[in-house]
Copies of this chain bind each other. A is one copy, B any other.
Amino acid sequence: MNNFRFHAYTDIRFGKDQINTLPKLLAPYGKKVLMVYGGGSIKKNGLFDKIMELLADFTVYELSGVEPNPKITSVREGVKLCKTHDIDVVLAVGGGSTIDASKVIAGGAAYDSDPWDLVTNPEKIGKVLPIVTVLTLAATGSEMNKNAVISNMETNEKLGTASHDFIPKASICDPTYLFTLPAKQTAAGTADIMSHVFEQYFQNEKRAFLTDRIAEGLLQTCINYCPIALDEPDNYEARANLMWASTLALNGLPCSGKGGAWTCHPIEHELSAYYDITHGVGLAIVTPRWFRYILNDETVGKFCEYGRNVWNITEPDAYKCANMAIDATEEFFTECGIPMTLTELGIDDSKFEIMAEKAVRFGGLANAYVPLTKEDVVSILKACL
């Protein structure tokens, strides 16, 4: 079991009507709030009005229109608003994209040059404005972690950055906000949660027993409840379990004592950087191909463990058990309605070489569970067609 630090200090307020705690959660930080949100669904479902009513004693500035795969252009706008209005606290209302953008905005507020620097070079992150979130999508876990992923479509780059101070001070997680989510977002969000767990579960450190059991519980939760949420969008139990799973899947818990570089995310980031596809869909497509590509005598035991503990597969032959688990994973995504080939998304092999080149450029894939070269990445991408 590797050494680790666990410091997920976000004050989570989980459940129905927790929005009423928002003024109390913001109060310690000041009165001038930059509220960041996305395409306006919060105006349709009443959340925007509710927040404005609750924040009558605050001065609220707005940055709307943050995109899925949030763009550095939106971050720049937000930073400008922070500087112009001397903002005290950034309030992100939305899913991972909105929260990620808010983090880099909060860091950019005290940075005197282009905030894209904070994405390409996290060491440049200094003072960060406090961040509070209201979560409206179960997917990225950004509501309780230090990570942000920002895209720059001019340079076809989608990069992750991080700061301990990016961890939100508080997050309101009300599962009823998920009731109106389109099915494809429910499915893609679940694939994102599962991918976070896979990236941490499939690692070489074998002695983190408790951490692996927690990971399996997270995966079982996704497998159990995503179909229910798709059938009954207002099933509170399903939405609540998925929402809590999204938060725990990437708050440090499923990597405590494990660690190790990730695989699917760097590959998918290139797909999104070039084609702006939905992150969770890209992950769902890549995952089973990655699994099959790295299945070997060294990894078969771990895939079996996954099959037995998550899918209740009792097949005694190790390779058969492993392949059944991988097939079950792919079938699960298919049954959730996720398009499971790049071809269906209109992506051909014309950019595989450059994407693979960029996926390996920071060296992470060389330190992954099974180290991958550029050629390996091309092979995995080809299997996704």
Contact = CB atoms under 8 A, between A and B. Distances in A.
Interface string A349-361: 0000000000000
Interface in A1-20: 1-18
A272 to B, nearest CB: 28
Stoichiometry, copies per complex? 2
Given A4-B15, A7-B11, A11-B5, A218 B210 contact: yes
A3 B14 contact: yes
A213 B207 CA distance: 19
A12 B6 contact: yes
Interface in A215-260: 216-218, 220-221, 224-225, 236-237, 240-241, 244-245, 248, 256-257
Interface residues of A, number: 42
A209 interface: yes
Contacts of A383: none
A207 B3 contact: no
B216 A244 contact: no
B15 A237 contact: no
A372 interface: no
A224 B210 CA distance: 10
A217 B309 CA distance: 11
Contact of A257 (B1, B5, B14, B209): B14
A251 to B, nearest CB: 10
A292 B7 CA distance: 39
A214 interface: yes
Contacts of A6: 12, 14
A248 B8 CA distance: 13
B14 A256 contact: yes
A257 B216 CA distance: 19
Contact of A4 (B9, B10, B14, B256): B14
A175 B3 CA distance: 10
A103 B165 CA distance: 27
Which of A7, A15, A207, A213 has the most chain B CB atoms inside 10 A of its CB? A213
A298 B302 CA distance: 38
Given A18-B3, A216-B217, A209 B12 contact: no
Interface of A: 1-18, 175, 207-211, 213-214, 216-218, 220-221, 224-225, 236-237, 240-241, 244-245, 248, 256-257
14 contacts: A1-B236, A1-B240, A3-B18, A4-B15, A5-B12, A5-B13, A8-B8, A9-B9, A207-B237, A210-B245, A213-B218, A217-B217, A240-B257, A244-B257
